[in-house]
Amino acid sequence: MSFAKLKAARQDKPSYVTSNALPSQESSAVPSEGAKESLYKSIPDHLQIRTSAVSGRGLWTTKPCLPGQVLFAVKPHVAALSNERLALHCSQCFGGGGNAGLKRCTQCQLIYYCDSTCQNLDWIFHKNECIALQRVTASGETAIPSDAIRCLGRIMWKRQKQGPASPWTQEIDLLQSHKQEVQPSAYELHTHLAISLVRYLGLSSPSEIAAFGIASGADLANFVSRFVTNTFTITDPSLAPLGASVSPPVALVNHSCDPNAVVVFPRSRPNSQEPLMQVVALREISVNEEILTAYIDTTLPKAQRQASLRETYLFSCACSLCTSTQSDLRDCVWCPKACGGVCPAPTEGKFTRLPRSCTYPHNGTENSLSRCTQCLSALQKTDEVLDALRIGQQALDKASILQFTDPAKSKQLCSKLIPILTSAGLTPSSHPLLALTRLYTALLIADLQSSSLSQETLDEAVVCATKAVAGLDRILRYGHPVRGIARAELGKLLAVDEPAPRPPAASAAEEALRYPPSGAKRLRMALDVLLQARGELGVGFGAPNEGGAVGREVREDIVRLERELGVWQKGLSEAMRDANEAKTVQRS
């Protein structure tokens, strides 16, 4: 079984989400005249650019779309691998996933390619980039500029070469900018990016930026702001981040925390257009409905989603999920009476913290307690939940940072906090329990790859991956790529050869309660989960892509398991036949 890349998949992944579309803005939407005729040629005719007062330009469909339909596919205008990935992937097609066979640029010695075809295709960008990178190395600087700076550099050089009138440049220049509204917190990032870019381009004074068609410092700030608002993370087929990219056609798609489409890079077959961005419908989309993807991780609760959208994209989301009055399954605890319902998780200020000395019910505060949405029982242990949420978030922040530098410590934090959050009553889909569970699963999988396989770690990873799948199922729509990948991981874990299978339990009832099961039962479960994963991946990564590269691995695992189960079945039938024959002989 291959777990290649799953270690890298621990990094925060862009996420996407479920359910209904934004409240219709159709009435205020008017086609953006002329724009499509000369520009955005890669957008198919059934998608129209319209503008609305709320979200500016967006893409709307004039034909019904089905789940798994690839709405359109484009190669980004520019892309740059993140620093950690530079030596592992081809800088043109982003293929590779390991250094084997890659050829290094002999000049800068930092950029790698599959072969001379990829190198030639990338030359339009790398020609100047190579000189800039050599300049950085010669200056004695140890840090290579980040993917954001290298991506901005690539835009600048190609913009300069193509000229301002080219469709390529015009599409870049039409990207939405928020120069007037930049938040103070983002201002520092923009300034840092602008200064680093000027240095990377080798300019000795700001006025030299005019050679790139940027008239002033203010124009440069605007350019950087446009880049920040319109950048996409390129991911590998298992959703691990690979680098940064800009694609003006895809950047026309507006956001919903409850999107009807996703942007994926399935890498279903070798293609010179890679990294090919594909916008895929997650559910049926009706005529005159807007295509909406999620810009942020939609497994987060509303407050964190809104903060992130305001910070980077400068708008407050009013999607169906953000405006829903129903309790958010990302942010809740089980009913204290265990009726199966949930209570909204308390937040500081919203549901009162009771005085430490008080015995429940406390006079006057009972009404402000969170209540079960089904049986209306009041959640009394507000303080315990608030404390668990606070330390859970702190641990998640710390464990996320430590996962690459000190995975053992990161794992320790997860394993300590998951039981605390669970006993405080958080549901598997609630934040930060779900995030810690996913991180812990990834760390356990990395352990399985790097050290000798133990039954204990394997079983723990299966249990943890099962909880992650259960949590994601509650908040993400069927076919969501994050769900598909989580299921594929679980199926693969179940399919790993057990190093020390447990002997059967004393009774059938006891055996039935054991999780994960062992032997043939485990293999059958693996097969079921992988079949479900195949179905989900087939939607989220586009029906024509058949689940992309991970879908291909899953199909191979399914074939192998069916064969193995056939052998078990045959062995079992033969054993039963032998036993029956022995009985017959005894009787006669």
Ligand X SMILES: C[S@@+](CC[C@H](N)C(=O)[O-])C[C@H]1O[C@@H](n2cnc3c(N)ncnc32)[C@H](O)[C@@H]1O
Binding residues for ligand X, per CB under 6 A?
54-58, 176, 178, 229-230, 251-252, 254-256, 313-315, 317
Q: Which is nearer to ligand X, 39 or 124 (CB)?
A: 39
Check residue 109 and give left, alpha or beta (phi > 0: left; psi -120 to 50: alpha): left
Q: How do 254-255 and 292-293 pair as beta strands? A: parallel
Q: Which is nearer to ligand X, 54 or 203 (CB)?
A: 54
Q: Which is nearer to ligand X, 260 or 429 (CB)?
A: 260
Return the closest-CA partner of residue 176 out of 81, 31, 315.
315
Q: Which is nearer to ligand X, 294 or 436 (CB)?
A: 294
Q: Which is nearer to ligand X, 254 or 429 (CB)?
A: 254
Question: Any idea which residue has 């939405």 for tokens?
Answer: 176
Neighbours of 348 (CB within 10 A): 10
d(CA 196, CA 227): 14
Cβ contact 90:113 at 8 Å: yes
Instruction: Give the nearest distance from C-beta 477 to ligand X in angstroms.
Output: 18
**What residue ranges in 170-274 does DSSP mark as E strands?**
231-235, 241-246, 254-255, 261-264
Q: Cα angle at 195 between 190 and 197, to 5 degrees?
A: 95
Q: Which is nearer to ligand X, 314 or 329 (CB)?
A: 314
DSSP one-letter string for 379-427: ---HHHHHHHHHHHHHHHHHHHHHHHH-HHHHHHHHHHHHHHHHHTTB-
Q: Which is nearer to ligand X, 57 or 502 (CB)?
A: 57
Angle between helices 455-475 and 481-495 (to 10 degrees): 160
Q: For residue 569, report the phi and psi dihedrals to the nearest 5 degrees.
A: -60, -45
Q: For residue 28, report the phi and psi dihedrals to the nearest 5 degrees.
A: -95, 5
Residue of closest CB approach to ligand X: 56
Q: CA of 588: how far to CAs of 415, 577, 579, 582, 583, in Å?
A: 60, 17, 14, 10, 9
Instruction: Give the nearest distance from C-beta 294 to ligand X in angstroms.
Output: 10
- How is residue 244 written in tokens? 């940064």
Q: Which is nearer to ligand X, 290 or 447 (CB)?
A: 290
The DSSP secondary-structure symbol of 506 reads S
Q: Which is nearer to ligand X, 175 or 527 (CB)?
A: 175
d(CA 448, CA 443): 9
